[in-house]
Amino acid sequence: MREAFSRGSLARDLMLFGTFFRIASVVVGGGFAIIAAADEEFVRRRKLLTSEELLEIVTVTQTVPGIVACNAAICIGFRINGKAGAFAAALGAVLPSMIVITLIAAGMSAMRDFLQHPAVRGAFRGVIAGIVALISVTAFRMRRKAVVDLFGAAVAAAAFVGIAVLRIAPPWIILGAIAAGAGKVLAADRAAKKKAGKGVRR
């Protein structure tokens, strides 16, 4: 049984490495694009995560320092296969970028000419447009789980206005959302204790 478990664990590690290597190799657009691809891969196709678990991972990756894509890979890998899974997923997520950057540094002039080719620039424009759609669909799906009441809708609307209209930096938006959520929970807990205290006195 131990041998079967080890083989199964190794298979999951290889799957995590290969999946994130493939995602990071073909997906452009930053961490949110990788989260969108991970939603399709691990939630909908492989069913190794639930939508609620991915939403928790997105929350963690947005509230801790570091690169969103790498943080997401670590969290997903750890959730699926523990520490070894976290390492395998993180390695798969960062290795393509390391390879590309090394190649660019090794042949800077040739790579610059390649990236300036009209066909290559057009290809990047098409990919980026597709990534925007992918991120939008994933955000819409998560909305059903994240915005479940009037309070959630108010925080989401305030965050949208803060970013799109007032140009507030995302870290301040996140801190504000954390403060609002903590304040709501503490106020509700205090009200419940107060109500319970009145019931005991009666």
Which residues, given as ranges, of the chain have pLDDT below 50?
1-5
pLDDT in tens, 34-67: 888 888 889 989 999 988 888 888 888 877 777 8
DSSP assignment of the chain equals: -HHHHHHHHHHHHHHHHHHHHHHHHH--S-HHHHHHHHIIIIIIIS--S-HHHHHHHHHHHHHSSS-HHHHHHHHHHHHHHHHHHHHHHHHHHHHHHHHHHHHHHHTHHHHHHHHTSHHHHHHHHHHHHHHHHHHHHHHHHHHHHH--SHHHHHHHHHHHHHHHTS---HHHHHHHHHHHHHHHHHHHHHHHHHHHHHHHH-
Residue 200: predicted pLDDT: 56
Confidence (pLDDT) at 84: 93
pTM: 0.69
